[in-house]
């Protein structure tokens, strides 16, 4: 078995970066998308294949996450993390089943009632937006984590594990910021929000009075139940629901735009700047697995291209060559959107909803209200993206507007964003 030590090792070509085989050690092979996908929208097959489907059954999904826990997390934490994974995946048999399991709620404990914000230093902590979070924290604690505190958190919780090697291998601060938010929420639970956001409603109103996915069929009551619940019974079911474990929002819902791929990695994309989750939810574990696979893939590319790049640089010192952070259309291996950003995040959210509850990405199109799917609530575009001028988003004063995002730190300038057709 390879050592849990330094993942870097020299090769015959002179490459001395992280060893990609060490980074992905012990993981099942990534699963290619099914070859027989059919279009589920007017956008055709391109939209279907934009998503990385991964495991297609709950059993397969659990096997992949179990292997990830066994090979990439500190040994001392694995038993607890596996127990929690089992709890989430076994819960939400129909609610009228006596064996139904109550799941951890978002903000259900004092430890998890934290609102996390991160940046390289505290120079932006005195902004009006941050002050709004502090003044309207609704009984939660606002926690700021700078780069130094982030390294301490990762060292304390990941030790010398392979997941720590993945963290160390990330090539820039943007990717560290992405991985940090997922790791914080996976291990601690709470809310992550960017510094350029501000709350519009109390946290207790996030996802209030949601619609029920398929009106509860298959998760609140058995799929084959002959009796259709009356409207009164459905309302009673809603009232009996525990607080959701996860709250996420739709970022983009491109409708029939044929140029969607020029602007967004997914035609239906999930917000990454504000996320709420109870501790140790499988969605957060799965996105860390996705980052691990992408990191190994990127450094495999770097290792394979090292000798060619060295030769080309010696022949033309002024040549602009792709590096490990370059987008695939510029000759690079992965790109930040797929490596740690909203692409891999969206895939993890939709993968869980698909294998656990049978949700398709098209089921979340044109949402006007929150929808409850098991222990997960998905907000419409207006929830975390009010006033963006796209996708039917309503104003910041709308009843469904929970958080405003000002795009101050986004990878693409606000003025270059597309107008709604």
Residues 317-346: tens digit of each pLDDT: 544 567 899 989 888 999 999 999 999 999
- The average pLDDT across 124-144 equals 93
Binned at pLDDT 50, 70 and 90, residue 229 comes out as confident
- Residue 57 within any structural domain of the chain: yes
- Residue 375 within any structural domain of the chain: yes
The predicted pLDDT at position 409 comes to: 59
Binned at pLDDT 50, 70 and 90, residue 288 comes out as very high
Q: Is the model's pLDDT at 308 over the cut of 60?
A: no
Binned at pLDDT 50, 70 and 90, residue 101 comes out as low
The predicted pLDDT at position 417 comes to: 47
Domain tally, the chain: 1
- Residue 378 within any structural domain of the chain: yes
Binned at pLDDT 50, 70 and 90, residue 10 comes out as very low
Q: Which of 36-45, 146-155, 228-237 has the lowest mean pLDDT?
A: 228-237
Q: Is the model's pLDDT at 309 over the cut of 60?
A: no
Question: How many C-beta atoms lie closer than 10 Å to residue 304's C-beta?
Answer: 13
Report which of 123, 113, 167, 122 is spatially closest to residue 144, judged by C-alpha positions: 122
Is the pTM here over 0.85, yes or no? yes
- The average pLDDT across 92-104 equals 60
- Residue 47 within any structural domain of the chain: yes
- The average pLDDT across 152-178 equals 97
The predicted pLDDT at position 231 comes to: 86
- Residue 244 within any structural domain of the chain: yes
- Residue 99 within any structural domain of the chain: yes
Half-sphere exposure of residue 262, counting CA atoms within 13 Å on the CB side?
Answer: 7
**Domain of residue 95, residue span:** 20-306+326-412
Q: Which residues contact 240 (CB under 8 A, 6 or more apart)?
A: 95
Q: Which of 10-19, 212-221, 292-301, 379-388 has the lowest mean pLDDT?
A: 10-19
Report which of 7, 53, 50 is spatially closest to residue 300, judged by C-alpha positions: 7
The predicted pLDDT at position 421 comes to: 47
For residue 176, what are the CA distances in angstroms to 92, 159, 183, 378? 33, 16, 10, 26
Please give the Cα distance from 331 to 309 (Å, whole number): 12
- Residue 315 within any structural domain of the chain: no
The predicted pLDDT at position 310 comes to: 45
14 DSSP 8-state letter: -
Binned at pLDDT 50, 70 and 90, residue 240 comes out as confident
Q: Which residues contact 413 (CB under 8 A, 6 or more apart)?
A: none
- Residue 41 within any structural domain of the chain: yes
Please give the Cα distance from 187 to 208 (Å, whole number): 26
Q: 85-94: per-residue pLDDT in tens?
A: 999 998 865 5
Q: 72-86: per-residue pLDDT in tens?
A: 999 999 999 999 999
Q: Which of 36-50, 114-128, 253-267, 405-419 has the lowest mean pLDDT?
A: 405-419
- Which residue did the predictor score with more confidence, 321 or 268? 268
318 DSSP 8-state letter: T
Report which of 124, 113, 177, 126 is spatially closest to residue 149, judged by C-alpha positions: 177
Q: Is the model's pLDDT at 207 over the cut of 50?
A: yes
Binned at pLDDT 50, 70 and 90, residue 305 comes out as confident
Please give the Cα distance from 111 to 152 (Å, whole number): 18
Average pLDDT in the chain: 88
- Which residue did the predictor score with more confidence, 419 or 151? 151
């Amino acid at each position: 078995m390879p050592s849990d030590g330094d993942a870097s090792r020299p090769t015959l070509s002179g490459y001395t970066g992280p060893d990609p085989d060490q980074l992905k050690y012990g993981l099942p092979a990534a699963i290619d998308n099914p070859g027989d996908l059919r279009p589920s929208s007017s956008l055709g097959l391109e939209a279907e294949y934009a998503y990385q489907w991964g495991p297609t059954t709950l059993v397969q999904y659990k096997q992949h996450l179990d292997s990830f826990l066994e090979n990439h997390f500190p040994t001392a934490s694995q038993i607890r993390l596996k127990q929690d994974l089992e709890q989430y995946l076994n819960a939400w048999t129909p609610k009228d089943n006596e064996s139904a399991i109550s799941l951890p709620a978002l903000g259900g404990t004092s430890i998890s009632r934290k609102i996390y914000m991160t940046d390289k230093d505290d120079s932006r902590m005195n902004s009006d937006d941050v002050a709004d979070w502090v003044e309207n924290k609704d009984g939660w604690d606002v926690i700021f984590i700078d780069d130094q505190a982030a390294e301490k958190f990762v060292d304390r919780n990941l030790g010398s594990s392979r997941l720590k090697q993945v963290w160390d291998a990330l090539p820039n601060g943007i990717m560290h910021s992405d991985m940090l938010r997922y790791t914080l929420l996976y291990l601690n639970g709470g809310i992550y929000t960017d510094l350029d956001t501000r709350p519009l409603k109390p946290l207790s109103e996030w996802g209030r009075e949601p619609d029920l996915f398929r009106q509860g069929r298959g998760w609140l009551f058995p799929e084959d139940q002959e009796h259709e619940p009356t409207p009164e019974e459905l309302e009673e079911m809603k009232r009996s629901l525990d607080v959701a474990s996860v709250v996420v929002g739709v970022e983009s819902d491109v409708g029939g735009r044929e140029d969607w791929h020029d602007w967004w990695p997914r035609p239906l994309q999930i917000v990454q700047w504000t996320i709420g989750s109870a501790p140790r939810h499988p969605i957060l574990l799965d996105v860390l697995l996705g980052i691990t696979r992408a990191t190994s893939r990127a450094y495999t590319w770097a290792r394979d291209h090292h000798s060619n790049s060295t030769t080309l640089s010696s022949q033309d010192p002024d040549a602009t060559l792709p590096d490990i952070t370059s987008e695939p259309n510029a000759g690079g291996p992965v790109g930040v959107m797929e490596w740690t950003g909203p692409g891999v995040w969206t895939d993890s959210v939709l993968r869980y909803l698909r294998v656990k509850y049978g949700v398709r990405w098209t089921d979340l199109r044109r949402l006007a209200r929150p929808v409850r799917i098991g222990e997960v609530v998905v907000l419409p575009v207006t929830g975390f993206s009010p006033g963006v001028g796209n996708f039917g988003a309503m104003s910041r004063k709308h009843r469904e507007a929970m958080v405003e995002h000002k795009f101050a730190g986004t990878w693409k300038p606000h003025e270059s964003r597309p107008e709604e057709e």
